[in-house]
Chain A
Amino acid sequence: MAQVRRSPEEHEVVVVGSGAGGGSAVQVLTEKGIRVTLLEAGPMLDPAKEFKEHMWPYEVDHRGAEEGGAAYFGKGKSFGYFTTTSGGWQLDGEPYTVGEGSEFQWFRSRIIGGRTNHYGRMSFRFSDYDFKPYDRDGLGTNWPISYKDIAPYYDKTEAFIGVTGSKEGIRSAPDGVFQEPPPPKAHEILIKKACDRMGIPCIPNRRAVITRELNGRPPCHYCGQCGRGCLTASNYASSQVQIFPAMKTGKLKIIDMAMAREVLTDGNGKVVGVSYIDKRTREEKHIRCRAVILAASACESARILLNSKSKYFPNGLANGSGVVGRFLMDTVGFGLSGQVPALEGLPHYDTDGFGGAHLYMPWWLWEKHSEAGFPRGYHIEIGGGYGMPGIGSFQRQARKFGYGKSLKEGVRREYGTTVGFAGRGEMIPNNHSYCEIDPRVVDRWGIPVLRFHFKWTDYEWKQARHMERTFAEIIETMGGKVLGLSAAERERNGISVPGTIIHEVGTVRMGDDPRTSAVNGFCQAHQAKNLFVCDGGPFVSNPDKNPTLTINALTWRSCDYLAEEMRKANV
């Protein structure tokens, strides 16, 4: 049997995972002169190799359909060939299982930067009320921290990574430190007009894209291809904005292809290091350190904790409460599109913009939940414009117009005349939605895998139906026609498949009481003061704000605290 390789070196802080949380930890700690060792389960990112920004579909023989037309059979790269996902819903040799009667999909990245390389970059602050949900409607649990605790860290994060936006004074969408947003596109102006009539706020989008130079990063050049990875680093990705700069400080050591197995404790139950599998050799290696930050993503961090069993921690580390893995939440998603005749014949123009909609609609009924008929809110994201033609772009028109002259003319007439709406709403944590260790399955590294259980409840279904009615009304108010969604389709696609919005959080939740939470308000384990969890795991609720910005801000706050505790020799 192969021996475990123990490195004699004593590392200072080991960070597991290099996405939003890991990247922020690296940035904040190395700036303070603390040495960081970063473990990443995938390879180093080389933007020059990975990013397909500005490629035309005809530059590859398969045009984006991939070898053998894999995309036609649902086996292509997630989100398309040209995106820079480096991961997916299934990873070879690293399975997860789903409990009977449940449906859950887990997106994992395996590369420096993780999912921040390709994410949507929506950057919304939680509202003051989002931290005290139980106080408002008696559902879920309050956070141990409040808006004022995190507000300064939202400020720092926005100033550092760069976020667009405008001062609006809307309670559901607190204002921040913003760069100037780009102007709305033509279809967005019509959407805003419709929303004005309906009393829905429609405001400049808040995205982690810079419109003026910041820390040597040039401003956005408006190609609209953030999802392919940005060669000029004009949007936020933890790889380019936090990790690459930290590499120049001499304080950062990166160990890539390192799959964390467990957090190591000594005979007294003190956290002393991390065990990982070197994927290149399949050797298990142990490194010793002063503090550990898990930032492997909410579910992966929960998995590591649950697998870190010892005499002192028979249920896994930081799990004296039994909450690790529980309260798994995703965002409620629902989408609807419409075709708008007012956009037919529009003089064509470049609608790429800064890589997403230039407007969005924050939640507007935060004081009218009894009227809405469900407890929490959602925001609305917009799609539309003349997208770069790709595989599948005109299939709807192909079927509608048959073939020949009518098809060609139909495509020209309808190109760019479709608008889409995506609702992103808050779910209430429930007892049926959690992950645990599957007692029978290990991955190819010998690490026990997660088994997921998930259920939407009436709260979420009612919210999705409200989204549907709202989107249909916006489309009709614009003079458009709702596309698709028969009764049968609604039954099947009336709410997103759990996990597919990729906002999974809550599995290592924070709280003041060690009996009902795994970590405290600083994301520090109740059971181990030199162990922190800096990803979506500590989230107590999953407000209708995409989680990344809050992961960045919470991590910054945790690392300020950790550095101070290290200085005081408490850690």
Chain B
Amino acid sequence: MSNTNETLIQVGDVSRRDALRTIALAVTVVAGGQMKLEAAQQVHAHAREEKKKTGSYKAKLFTEHEFKTLGRLAELIVPADSVSGSALDAGAPEFIDLLSSQNEHLAAIFTGGLAWLDAEMRHRHSAPFVDAKPEQQTAMLDLLVKAQETDRERSAKGQTYEKSEHYKDFQSYGIYAASDLGPGVVFFDWARKMTVDAFYTSEIGIKDVDFRGNGSVSKYEVPKEVIEYALKHSPFAS
């Protein structure tokens, strides 16, 4: 009777793998296998050349209007400047749409939040978010940021609605605005969180912060000028 479970297991079929993985296997599996540094470097060049996904994107969850609103938010949260493009350029709306299309909870956060934002903008400026003037859009975001800060300060002091003995008198603590904008605060925190993540995990964002790693070097060295700079600006400057 065959009993595959008890056969000596071989590390599987390598023909499908790229050079990186083939060479890596040679190191650990082939008897006496050796891998010199040049090979390691070649391997990592291969990894870097892996293809990038391009082309036009069709939203899986959001309506055209919702998707456009996310795009405008992305441009406002991480705008283009002289160093790099915006979160819109980095694919933030696509990222949010993809994940929301796979998760009902996330979908509700975004469709509900976007609807709240439009209702609030219509109420204040008689236009949905994307059609409002840029200064009206930023005024809204400023309010949300401010409200979140107030919320956070209160929370740090333990002054939440539930806990505070001053509940009945809370207007005097300047938190009325926070309560009114509560759903917007939650939504904007999510929109910003995922927009920021989408931007900084993109090629554009990684280049923007000037990340120098994920490489392969034979000897690790810290540039002298870096050490000098750090010491000079520290309390240890002589």
Contact = CB atoms under 8 A, between A and B. Distances in A.
Real complex partners, A and B? Answer: yes
B218 A221 contact: yes
Interface in A168-211: 182-187, 189-190, 193-194
B186 interface: no
Nearest to A193: B236
B40 A346 contact: no
A220 B194 CA distance: 34
A7 B3 CA distance: 11
A72 interface: yes
Interface in A242-272: 244-245, 247-248, 252-258
Interface string B213-230: 111111011110111011
A451 to B, nearest CB: 30
A64 interface: yes
Interface stretch (B6-14, B111-119, B120-128, B170-178): B6-14
A568 interface: no
Contact of A62 (B98, B158, B209): B98
A58 B202 contact: yes
Contacts of A87: none
B210 interface: yes
Interface stretch (A92-100, A292-300, A329-337, A395-403): A395-403
Interface in B174-220: 189, 192-194, 196-198, 200-203, 205-206, 208-218, 220
A219 B198 CA distance: 34
Contact of B76 (A55, A404, A415): A404
* Chain B, interface residues (CB within 8 Å), range: 35 or more
A569 interface: no
Nearest to B91: A58
B200 A393 contact: yes
A478 B234 contact: yes
A218 B211 contact: no
A403 B77 contact: yes
A426 B205 CA distance: 41
B37 A218 contact: yes
A345 B17 contact: no
A394 interface: yes
Given A68-B99, A193-B234, A222-B217, A253 B6 contact: yes
A69 interface: yes
Nearest to A224: B213
Nearest to B104: A68
B41 A255 contact: no
A389 B201 contact: yes
A402 B230 contact: no
- Residue with the highest number of chain B CB atoms closer than 10 Å, among A7, A348, A350: A350
B209 A412 contact: yes
Contact of A407 (B23, B28, B78, B197): B78
Contacts of B142: 402
A353 interface: yes
A368 interface: no
A217 interface: yes
Interface in A201-238: 213, 216-225, 231-233
A465 interface: no
A194 B77 CA distance: 38
* Majority secondary structure, A binding face: loop
B34 interface: yes
Given A193-B234, A403-B77, A411-B209, A232 B24 contact: yes
A231 B213 contact: no
B29 A183 contact: no
B21 A48 contact: yes
A221 B79 contact: no
B95 A63 contact: yes
A67 B229 CA distance: 42
B222 A185 contact: yes
Interface in B123-166: 138, 141-142, 145, 148, 152, 156, 158
Nearest to A279: B5
B216 A221 contact: yes
Given A46-B11, A61-B98, A222-B216, A349 B234 contact: no
Contacts of B216: 221-223
Given A183-B221, A486-B156, A404 B138 contact: yes
A185 B224 CA distance: 11
Nearest to A66: B99
B168 interface: no
Given A186-B227, A223-B213, A253-B8, A64 B201 contact: yes
Contact of A248 (B23, B31, B208): B31
Contacts of A390: 201
B81 interface: yes
B218 to A, nearest CB: 7
B196 A394 contact: yes
A306 B28 CA distance: 37
B102 A55 contact: no
A394 B236 contact: no
B108 interface: no
Nearest to A340: B234
A307 to B, nearest CB: 21
Contacts of A240: 27-28
A454 to B, nearest CB: 29
B23 to A, nearest CB: 8
B99 A62 contact: yes
- Residue with the highest number of chain A CB atoms closer than 10 Å, among B8, B25, B142, B209: B209
A563 to B, nearest CB: 22
B197 A63 contact: yes
A54 B233 CA distance: 33
Contacts of B5: 255-258, 278, 280-281
A402 B77 CA distance: 8
Interface string A516-531: 0000000000000000
A391 interface: yes
Contacts of A245: 31
A187 B79 CA distance: 30
- For the complex of A and B, 9 pairs with smallest distance between CB atoms: A68-B103, A48-B21, A231-B24, A57-B201, A68-B102, A342-B234, A352-B213, A69-B99, A63-B201
Given A224-B213, A255-B5, 15 more contacts: A46-B11, A56-B214, A62-B99, A68-B102, A190-B236, A218-B35, A218-B40, A219-B37, A346-B230, A350-B217, A351-B213, A386-B209, A386-B210, A398-B193, A405-B81
Interface of B: 5-6, 8-9, 11-12, 14, 17, 20-25, 27-29, 31-37, 39-41, 43-44, 47-48, 50, 52-53, 76-79, 81, 83, 95, 98-100, 102-103, 105-106, 138, 141-142, 145, 148, 152, 156, 158, 189, 192-194, 196-198, 200-203, 205-206, 208-218, 220-223, 225-227, 229-231, 233-236
Interface of A: 7, 44-49, 51, 53-59, 61-65, 67-70, 72-73, 182-187, 189-190, 193-194, 213, 216-225, 231-233, 239-240, 244-245, 247-248, 252-258, 278, 280-281, 340-354, 386-395, 398-399, 402-405, 407-408, 411-412, 415, 477-479, 486, 488
9 contacts: A48-B21, A54-B48, A63-B201, A69-B194, A185-B222, A190-B231, A190-B236, A247-B29, A350-B215
